[in-house]
Amino acid sequence: MSMYLPEKVKHLDRLKSCGFRVPDFVYVPASDFESQDFEALEAFLEQHKESYKIIVRSAHPLEESFKGGTFHSMPTYADLGGVLYARKRIVKMAAEEKRLSILRQQKFNNSPEIDLEDMGVLVMPFIEGRSVMAKKIGDSWEFGYCCDTSQKVQDEPFITTTPHDRGLIDVSENVQKCLGFPCEIEYIISNENEIFVVQAKDISCFECFDQRERERAVHLDGIRRVRKRRNYRERPVYVMDNQAFYIDIIGICEAMILGGPGPAPTIAELLAFIDRRGQALETFALKHQRFAVLGLSIRVPDELYQVANHYLDERPEHQKALSKKLRSDLLVIDRFLGEADTIIAKERIQIKLCTHDAYGIDTVRNPIWMAYWHTENHFQMVKRFKQLGFKTGDTIAIEIDAGEKPIVYRL
């Protein structure tokens, strides 16, 4: 069990000693969970029992070696059971939802091997308000605003060099002076407009390019991106056609029931067919550090999903195994898409962005791009991509003109 104090704990201790407004917190190392020594935690919870709600932040000793957002934070009830539940969920999400992300960082970023059972947590009172992330790019501070979860009507995440409160610039400068290195700072702006520092990450090892680059000229129907600093990129592409994939699955089911010229497929062969595609997604993601997904069909059509989930109803055990595998496959697809930094699909396909995805330090060089075509043009666009022979493994280029109109072509 590692006794190394996590980066975020050390930095918050330092900032607190420098006089910054840091929420009260307690660090609970993994060893305390192993020995069930919760004396310090229970004393902290007793002090904050009027809050009813706390936030449990991941605090693994090796967390600083991974990009922001790899490990989760969870709001929960302000009691011991809530903390135990939150830590269990944080470990489970790292092992499952973020498994591919961790493998890719270990391969491409030289991140270390990690024992998730070493996961400690940082416990703070929950503060209602808006999350703001700050970092200095070149000579200017930029501020990324995330939605206020307490509001019914929410804005999209956005980046600005002019924060809502000019005092944020002074606070950020002073935080960086206190810590003594370039850092990415996460604030919570409370509903009373109080500025709380909740995290600071050392980003001195990140190379940030100069922001003054000429805009490139050039076509799809539009593009969504939070950070508008480049108008050209090249990526290896994975061509995803889940409609065709499900038609193949239904074809195998049909051969199982009705037979054909050869031996009828078995349920094991059908499940292996689905597993092979999942393995192909993981292999592609581990081969390419940055990649695009061309979504000819990302969302499985409802009618095909229903057919596949009921075709083998006359063989209940087989149908149960198939339905379980199909649900699992949807998660595999979702996690694969979460690793792509470029999605090309019809406009109704949207990827949910967390704070780090939207404007974390990794997005300075590689922001998320969502290039799209209008839904009414879907069939023509899919036909065009197929006519031009776009296939998995190709390298594609995207150029964006001054009117935010992208064009995609094979290299």
Per-residue pLDDT tens digits for 81-131: 999 999 999 999 999 999 999 999 999 988 999 999 999 999 999 998 889
CB 48 within 8 A of CB 54: yes
Domain boundaries along the sequence of the chain: 1-8+26-126, 128-212, 222-410
pLDDT tens-digit map of 130-166 = 899 999 887 789 998 876 555 555 567 788 888 888 8
Supply the DSSP string of 298-363, one letter for each residue.
-SPPHHHHHHHTTTTTTSHHHHHHHHHHHHHHHHHHHHHHHH-SEEEEETT------HHHHHSGGG
SS3 228: coil
What pLDDT does residue 187 have?
94
Mean residue pLDDT across the chain:
86
What pLDDT does residue 392 have?
95
CB 189 within 8 A of CB 195: yes
**Paired strand residues for 236:** 395
Query: What is the C-alpha separation between 123 and 77, in angstroms, rounded?
Result: 11
Tell me the whole-structure pTM to 2 decimals: 0.64
**Residue with the larger pLDDT of the pair 209 and 251:** 251
pLDDT tens-digit map of 194-243 = 999 999 999 887 654 333 333 322 235 676 666 666 778 899 999 999 99
CA 330 to chain centre: 16
**Residue with the larger pLDDT of the pair 26 and 4:** 26
> Who's near 15: CB < 8 A, 6+ residues apart?
22, 175, 178, 179, 197, 200
**Tokens 């996961």 label which residue?**
119
